[in-house]
Copies of this chain bind each other. A is one copy, B any other.
Amino acid sequence: MRPNSAEALPTSAPRSTRQKRAVAQLLGELDVFRSAQDLYAELRRRGERVGLTTVYNQLRTMSESGEVDVIRTEDGESLYRLCGSGHHHHVVCRSCGLTIEVEGPELESLAARLASKYHFSEVTHTFEIAGLCSTCACV
């Protein structure tokens, strides 16, 4: 919102570090939603020297800049995934995390219609579909 919020004002550009690159690259390889803890574990498994705090920092930064999408599981865990730009929704496999980005014009208009019907302003909406993908359903 404000160009210079009181919080963190960085006086210069973000720096490129080994850790940031590792997180970004891992996200680039995956097309599924994963938790911060999962991503951290995977990085360690690969021998990357990264701290959990840094993974969280990086994911927050990337989600704020719109580079990654965040969804929350039923038990409150946050899952992250590199995302395409623009407004979209997801069809997510509960079992393997496989995710398909979808758009729904009729959904958007429905949301807008309901908002105006009840005189709500500054509306946002969430729409997520969870199920079993064809691969996981066979097991």
Contacts and interface: CB of A to CB of B under 8 A. Distances in A.
Interface residues of A, number: 32
B126 A121 contact: no
A87 interface: no
Copies of the polypeptide in the assembly? 2
A107 B107 CA distance: 6
Interface in A68-124: 72, 76, 91, 93-94, 100, 102, 104, 106-107, 110-111, 114-115, 118-124
Given A76-B76, A91-B114, A110-B107, A121 B131 contact: yes
Interface of A: 72, 76, 91, 93-94, 100, 102, 104, 106-107, 110-111, 114-115, 118-134, 137
